[in-house]
Copies of this chain bind each other. A is one copy, B any other.
């Protein structure tokens, strides 16, 4: 089993933290996004969407998309569950992780891809070129601010994003906060004590360095 990924890719980090939490060892193959290696014929054969990360099984099957990779790894390495321990818990973790991804992570990604000069003409990842939309980037920043308000509300009620246990919802939320801090200069705002407490706790786990 091999993981094609990039050190600078927030989606790759979602998988790296998952692997670190579960103690899974596998071959990690770097894809050099700066050198546009993801557009080359070799990587296109692995993932025609030209995105990282991609998990390649020993039989050659490519599994792309972070939730799909997580699902495969969880089912083949069930110890230390990160997707939940019952049907209800798995559904709630799926729900919370997805809210964090769509409202937070995707909004930060949209803000970055629609503004960074190096991504001109590449406002969306994948095989097609799309022009950047400055008005969309502005809207994305508003969305990230609203995401922080909602996450503060949630973490004032529960220790972890999906409830009582650490899960993939916390992984995506941590990657989102760090991506917003570095990518669009929107760290955890003042006046969010629950979010600050959670962030300090999650950041201090050894997996956060992954």
* Interface residues, chain A, with chain B CB atoms under 8 Å away: 49, 57, 61, 63-65, 67-69, 71-72, 75-76, 87-88, 90-92, 94-95, 98-99, 103, 123-124, 126, 128, 130-131, 133, 135-136, 139, 142-143, 146
Q: Are B146 and A139 in contact (CB under 8 A)?
A: no
With CB as the reference atom, state the residue of chain B lying closest to A76.
B87
CA distance A64 to B102 in the complex (A): 13
CA distance A88 to B103 in the complex (A): 29
Name A68's contact: one of B76, B92, B130 (CB within 8 Å). Answer: B92
Q: Are B98 and A72 in contact (CB under 8 A)?
A: no
Q: How far is the CB of A106 from chain B (nearest CB, A)?
A: 9
Name A135's contact: one of B67, B72, B135 (CB within 8 Å). Answer: B135
Q: Are A63 and B92 in contact (CB under 8 A)?
A: yes
Name A87's contact: one of B72, B94, B124, B130 (CB within 8 Å). Answer: B72
Name A94's contact: one of B49, B67, B92, B136 (CB within 8 Å). Answer: B67
User: Apart from A67-B98, A128-B143, what 16 extra A-B contacts exist at CB < 8 Å?
Assistant: A63-B95, A67-B67, A68-B94, A71-B90, A71-B94, A72-B88, A72-B90, A72-B91, A75-B87, A130-B139, A130-B142, A131-B139, A133-B135, A133-B136, A135-B136, A136-B136
Copy tally for this chain in the complex stands at 2
Given the complex, which residues of B lie within 8 Å of A69, measured CB to CB? Answer: 91
With CB as the reference atom, state the residue of chain B lying closest to A87.
B75
Name A92's contact: one of B61, B131, B136 (CB within 8 Å). Answer: B61
Given the complex, which residues of B lie within 8 Å of A133, measured CB to CB? Answer: 133, 135-136, 139
With CB as the reference atom, state the residue of chain B lying closest to A49.
B99
